[in-house]
Structure 1
Amino acid sequence: MKPFSSLVSLLKVAVSSSRLLSSSSLSLPLLLSKDFHSVKDHCRHLLELGILHENPSLGSHAHARIVVFGLERDSFLSTKLITLYSLCGRLHDASAIFARVPRCDAFILNAVLRGYCANGLHQKAIDLFHRKRKDGVRPDSYTFSCIFKACASLSDLRQGKELHHLAAAGGFESDVFVGNSLMCMYAKCGSIEDVVRVFDGMPQQDTVSWTSIVSAYARDGRHVEAAEKLRQMIECGFRPDQVTMLTVLAMSGDTPEVVGQVHGYILRSGFEPTSMIQNSLISAYGKCGRAEEARKVFHGCARVNRVTWNALISSYAQNGLFDESRQLLRDMKHSGCDLDVVTYSGVISSFSQNDLFGSAMAVFEELVNVGLKPDVVAIASVLPAISGLQCSNYCKEIHAFTYRHRLESDRRIRNALVSVYSKFGLLQCAERVFGAIGDRDVISWSSMVMGYAQNQYFAEALDTFQRMIGTRTEPNPITVTSVLSSCAGVSGLRQGKEIHAWAVKNSVDDQPFVGSALVDMYAKCGRLGDSRKVFDLMEDKNLVTYNVMMGGYAVHGLTENALEIFGMVDEPDQVSFIAALSACSHGGKVEEGIEIFNSMRMRPREGHYALMVDLLARSGRLQQALDLITTMPTKAGSEIWGAMLGACRIHSDLEIGIYTGNRIIESGSGNSGYYVLLSNILADFGRWEDVEVIRELMKEKEVKKCAGCSWIEVNKRVRSFVAKERAHHPEWKSMFQVLSALNEQTRGMSC
């Protein structure tokens, strides 16, 4: 009787702990019956209730009965238990049950695969599928459908194609359910050709199939084909459902023609638009720049809720109508509809993306002042605004807030923190945050690579990129641009070529910023021919492309080539004039430089004046350069006086050199190069006492000469060397032994 008394205790706990049990029409006498079939039915009923309500306690109660009555070997109940535990995130319990199943079949395997996928363990699901298939378990259509979804989540096209061949060999390719899953997998992997091939090869399609092909075309940016497929779907007698409409609107939001066609179909066909469809229409019109059309849909809504308001406000903010979006915020308040965090987050994000950092911060402060708690999206949106305002203390305060409210572990916030800390030059903080990201995605890696590159830690950027590749994370254009910048910084031509080859293979080399980075990398590595070749092959050039090509020619003294590129630019910006003036300075083209400087429509900045001073002074026109400095609208900085001082050394002008040196010292510059340059001018004229005064002044002001740093590539890895830091290199002893041996050989040869 002991087992039954235990069962009674369990039932009492179950009844007292769950209202669901009291309404499940279970009777105690029936459960105390020795009829195992009745017990099995009630356990099944408990488990189905648990799955429906995601209640793990019901699973535990049912599990206890299953053990007591010796039903652990029952495949059906084991499958239900695995499903419930997986749904509630208790994978350890689910795996323990699966391990005790005496015979695995497709039914129970599918439950485990579904559990792994639901908890993000996609590769583990695929590995289990292969193991069990080798053990003799025959997969069914659902098995393949689940595995294709795992491949889609991993964006793993190679594994997806291998599994496709297995499904075809098993005769499942013609199954509509499997075909739809295949199309979804290929679409998420970016292989539109395979999506079309699967669709065309299906013996029959359903509404899901048509929706998949339409959304695949839309996702790939082929909106004309998407609209055509939608038309064919209707002609074939398939009525688009809400899922079809929402999918097409979500994917085609940047194409007004497609949005208009979907809207027209809804109006013509008598399709009853739900709140979700109307909200999606408002968002889609906003994304494609039709804010007024979005407002018309808004006013036509029978029922306006908070989501509808949010969609309209975001539509106006996305299109730069910021005053209108702020007014809509006020209108929403007056309508009696409470503003939520989503409302504010959308506006903050739009302001940040359009560099309206002050407005973004103002809306964020309003969010906090009305008593709302910022969510992940609001924080991730305001962090870029903080970096734009150069408020590093705000960044640390936000970081502390996320930590206190247990939001800091969210990957989106950590990615944003890495980016913002890097922009402030706080690389140690960025590294700590990056190190804490367990599930790094391409944005995590790209943010760290970019952070190193921005702060000129080129070797570290390249090393991080190699680690990223080691994790099989696919780089995006931002990663490629940053790592190419690092290759340029250390003249890493071989690595730059490898990345170029990868960019060509993956069709990202034609993107303007990637192409511009390639032009810059080849130029800085001294391969101007390759740089110009990439430049000429680029179909979509932007101003950055022209500027880096000009800068490459200017650095190498090819003035005519640089000015040729400058002549191609319709509307040069500040950087364009910097590159052109630099080319004139390096090539000694004084008259051309003066003409370019005088043609500037915008107000010259300090960099432009510095180049003009350098150009005039280098050519011996020291007095003219000095006159230009004294007539500047703003006080000259150390960069301009430094250019003047360098020319004084070249042309041995002691008087102007001393005058210029005094201006630099008065400015409080800590650049040791200027002090050394002034000291050398004085030494050239034998003014040794003044040289000693400059050296004493450097000691007094604690101006120290920066240590030199060199890079070398060894075994496909870039290594950096800094003067007086030899002990920091792990192999410095062996290197100096080789150096000593070479010195001995040199002495022997000289004897």
Structure 2
Amino acid sequence: MQVLSIMMQHRVQANVFHYSSVISAGSQRGQWQLAFYLLSNMFVTTIVPDTVCCSAAITACEKGGQWQLAVSLLSTMPELRAIPDDIAYNAAISALEKGGQWQLALGLLSDMPHLRMTPSHFSFGAAISACEKGCRWELALSLLWGMPEMKLGPERICYNAAISACGNGGQWQLALGLLCGMLELELRPDEISYNAAISACEKGGQWQLALSLLSKMPDMRAIPGEISYSVAMSACSKGGQWQLACLLLEQLPSQNITLDEHGSTNDLVLQRLLHLGHAPSEEEVREVMSVELERWRQNPKPATVVLGGLAKKGLPSVAEQVLRFMMASRVEVNVFHCSAAISACEKTGQWQLALSLLSNMPDMGVMPHEFCCSSAISACEKGGQWQLALSLLSSMPEMRLIPDVVSYSAAISASEKGGQWQMALGLLSSMPDMKVIPNEISYNAAIGACSKGGQWQLALRLLSSMPDAGLVQDEISCNAASSACSQGGPWQLALNILSCMPEMRVIPNTISCNAAISACEKGGISWR
């Protein structure tokens, strides 16, 4: 590019070959912006791009993940009198594969023979991979079996993509059949082939076959790597074979394999903890945790992943035991660990445990954070403890914490569930004074509180004020206001809200219709 710039500065006339060389050099690094800049500059200098320039630019788009631009440029090549070649088509098909556009990829592949281009192994491999990403294993196999008709012999890259497609489609038997077929065709499977087959067995719950494939890899001169062991360990853990998974984990150092902190070691520990159920004993948790204890001492970050997984599954007692074990084993506990454990309490409404964890954080050497308090307030809300939720919100400044929109919304929701509509409105109105901007959740909870308190006028006022606050009225806010009108307000207003919902781009649901029907019935109107 610098040489080309110097040529232009010194008024040395550049031709299509100069531009082609620069675009081609940049294409391998995915510099699609540079490619399009040079193409546009060619038009300014009256140099017409040729096939090589366009193909290189499409390759740049493919490397840069710009499938739309790649397809657009391919379609405009005839207008530029640049005849598309197999390089351009292959690059475009590969771009579509990376972009998950399997239909368009197959369309380009089918167009190639009509344009007197012979698809190559690369063409079919990219198209089969596109089908894999699109979960179209039937089409992937159809392409693989159709290759001989194009006078193309078996190729490892195509078989690997087809095995992956079958695995992702839950067809582990077909995946193994393809792997065996490679041997019959004297097409030696490589690490990618075996990894795809092991993954197919893992998805199909076939841990024995996964281990068998892993053990055969060295005999086939395919060296097992991180992916091989990770997937095999996952297959064992899903099959309840914790001892075998741990044995594989112990083999990693001798194989010079190190799994990253978000790898299968965390998955293994999490799966074992989940397998223990909601109330495991301390001994059971200690046995599971002993596998990762030394790693967590060196780097406590993976513990966040495990605790986060327990939170998603709603296992607060297990998360609390893990925290206590970490403290007893001198593993550094940080705010993210505590937050994940409190979040687990929130999902199950275990407010006592949430408050206990929050109050014990200073003893762990961890200062509470806003999101810890917000999760604890939500736990109180789900547990029906609106007084505690409000108390915790009011005590946040004493802990040098600033309540945010999540904290306030959770407290308003707690007030709603406790039938405290005045308190909910008070919190909503106080948010701007605290420099906290209410969101849709805040308003929806307040409208719901007014609905439950029979305050239909206030519910409608809040609903109508949402657009002025820059908020979008959704089905929750509309349903709450409609319910308020059906319970104590004029029945016509409930119908009016229902009729206006499409204009708000809100799709009425069963709750919306039931509220309108209830309003009509109370108004003495027969619904037909």
Matching residue of 1:264: 250
8 Å Cα contact 2:20-2:56 kept in structure 1: no
The correspondence for 2:304, drawn from 299, 310, 313, is: 310
State whether structure 2 residue 206 is matched by structure 1 residue 222. yes
Partner Cα separation in structure 2 for residue 120 and residue 383 of structure 1 = 39
8 Å Cα contact 1:215-1:247 kept in structure 2: yes
The correspondence for 2:290, drawn from 288, 296, 303, is: 296
Matching residue of 2:91: 111
SS at match of 2:117: coil
Q: Map Cα deviations across residues 479-535 of structure 1 (whole Å, 9 max, x no partner).
A: xxxxxxxxxxxxxxxxxxxxxxxxxxxxxxxxxxxxxxxxxxxxxxxxxxxxxxxxx
Matching residue of 1:77: 53
The correspondence for 1:321, drawn from 312, 318, 323, is: 318
8 Å Cα contact 2:206-2:235 kept in structure 1: no
Partner Cα separation in structure 2 for residue 242 and residue 133 of structure 1 = 41
Partner Cα separation in structure 2 for residue 65 and residue 184 of structure 1 = 43
Distance 1:107 1:42, change over 3 A: closer
In structure 1, list runs of 5 or more residues that go unmatched: 1-20, 404-416, 438-447, 459-670, 672-701, 708-722, 727-751
Distance 1:371 1:140, change over 3 A: farther
* Residue identity matched to 1:321: V
The correspondence for 2:146, drawn from 159, 162, 166, is: 166
8 Å Cα contact 1:283-1:314 kept in structure 2: no
Q: Map Cα deviations across residues 443-472 of structure 1 (whole Å, 9 max, x no partner).
A: xxxxx9xx85xx6989xxxxxxxxxxxxxx
Partner Cα separation in structure 1 for residue 58 and residue 345 of structure 2 = 47
The Cα shift of 1:284 comes to 1.2
The Cα shift of 1:356 comes to 4.5
State whether structure 2 residue 25 is matched by structure 1 residue 41. no
Q: Map Cα deviations across residues 586-645 of structure 1 (whole Å, 9 max, x no partner).
A: xxxxxxxxxxxxxxxxxxxxxxxxxxxxxxxxxxxxxxxxxxxxxxxxxxxxxxxxxxxx
Matching residue of 1:241: 225
8 Å Cα contact 2:189-2:220 kept in structure 1: no
State whether structure 2 residue 208 is matched by structure 1 residue 198. no
8 Å Cα contact 2:86-2:117 kept in structure 1: yes
State whether structure 2 residue 43 is matched by structure 1 residue 28. no
The Cα shift of 1:245 comes to 2.3
* Residue identity matched to 2:136: D
Matching residue of 1:582: none
* Residue identity matched to 2:133: S
Q: Map Cα deviations across residues 249-291 of structure 1 (whole Å, 9 max, x no partner).
A: 4454433144223213324xx2224251785213312212385
Aligned length: 403
The correspondence for 1:145, drawn from 115, 118, 125, is: 125
8 Å Cα contact 1:110-1:142 kept in structure 2: yes
8 Å Cα contact 1:252-1:258 kept in structure 2: yes
Partner Cα separation in structure 2 for residue 133 and residue 114 of structure 1 = 17
The Cα shift of 1:172 comes to 4.7
Equivalence map 1:376-395=2 (5 Å): 394=413
Matching residue of 1:122: 102
Partner Cα separation in structure 1 for residue 153 and residue 358 of structure 2 = 52
Distance 1:306 1:160, change over 3 A: same
SS at match of 1:301: helix
Partner Cα separation in structure 1 for residue 482 and residue 325 of structure 2 = 38
The Cα shift of 1:205 comes to 0.5
Partner Cα separation in structure 1 for residue 439 and residue 328 of structure 2 = 29
The Cα shift of 1:223 comes to 1.0
8 Å Cα contact 2:144-2:162 kept in structure 1: yes
Distance 1:39 1:59, change over 3 A: closer
Partner Cα separation in structure 1 for residue 51 and residue 367 of structure 2 = 53
The Cα shift of 1:188 comes to 0.9
SS at match of 1:138: coil
Partner Cα separation in structure 2 for residue 117 and residue 422 of structure 1 = 43
8 Å Cα contact 1:94-1:112 kept in structure 2: yes
* Residue identity matched to 1:308: P
CA RMSD between the two structures: 5.4
8 Å Cα contact 1:211-1:244 kept in structure 2: yes
8 Å Cα contact 1:82-1:112 kept in structure 2: yes
8 Å Cα contact 1:298-1:312 kept in structure 2: no
Partner Cα separation in structure 2 for residue 424 and residue 275 of structure 1 = 53
Which protein is bigger by CA-based radius of gyration?
Answer: 1
Matching residue of 2:168: 188
Partner Cα separation in structure 2 for residue 706 and residue 368 of structure 1 = 56
Matching residue of 1:283: 267
State whether structure 2 residue 35 is matched by structure 1 residue 59. yes
* Residue identity matched to 2:290: K
* Residue identity matched to 2:256: E
The Cα shift of 1:314 comes to 4.2
Distance 1:76 1:25, change over 3 A: same
Partner Cα separation in structure 2 for residue 25 and residue 338 of structure 1 = 54
* Residue identity matched to 1:199: L
Partner Cα separation in structure 1 for residue 127 and residue 381 of structure 2 = 43
Distance 1:103 1:301, change over 3 A: same
Distance 1:141 1:159, change over 3 A: same
Distance 1:96 1:218, change over 3 A: closer
The Cα shift of 1:400 comes to 5.0
Distance 1:360 1:226, change over 3 A: farther
The Cα shift of 1:111 comes to 1.9
Distance 1:73 1:299, change over 3 A: same
State whether structure 2 residue 100 is matched by structure 1 residue 100. no
Distance 1:284 1:435, change over 3 A: farther
Partner Cα separation in structure 2 for residue 81 and residue 163 of structure 1 = 27
SS at match of 1:321: helix
Equivalence map 1:514-593=2 (5 Å): none
* Residue identity matched to 1:122: W
Q: Map Cα deviations across residues 411-433 of structure 1 (whole Å, 9 max, x no partner).
A: xxxxxx999999999998xx98x
The Cα shift of 1:204 comes to 1.6
User: Percentage identity across aligned positions?
Assistant: 12
Partner Cα separation in structure 2 for residue 167 and residue 424 of structure 1 = 62
SS at match of 1:238: coil
The Cα shift of 1:329 comes to 8.7
Distance 1:91 1:725, change over 3 A: same
8 Å Cα contact 1:348-1:364 kept in structure 2: yes
The Cα shift of 1:216 comes to 0.8
Partner Cα separation in structure 1 for residue 194 and residue 55 of structure 2 = 33
* Residue identity matched to 2:193: S
Matching residue of 1:480: none
Partner Cα separation in structure 2 for residue 402 and residue 132 of structure 1 = 57
Equivalence map 1:618-633=2 (5 Å): none
Matching residue of 1:370: 369
Equivalence map 1:583-732=2 (5 Å): 724-726=526-528
8 Å Cα contact 2:35-2:57 kept in structure 1: yes
The Cα shift of 1:181 comes to 0.1
SS at match of 2:119: coil
Partner Cα separation in structure 1 for residue 369 and residue 326 of structure 2 = 13
Distance 1:88 1:236, change over 3 A: closer
Distance 1:357 1:421, change over 3 A: farther
Partner Cα separation in structure 2 for residue 399 and residue 231 of structure 1 = 55
Matching residue of 1:576: none
TM-score by length of 1: 0.43
* Greater relative CO, 1 or 2 (CA 8 Å, sep 6+): 2
The Cα shift of 1:179 comes to 0.3
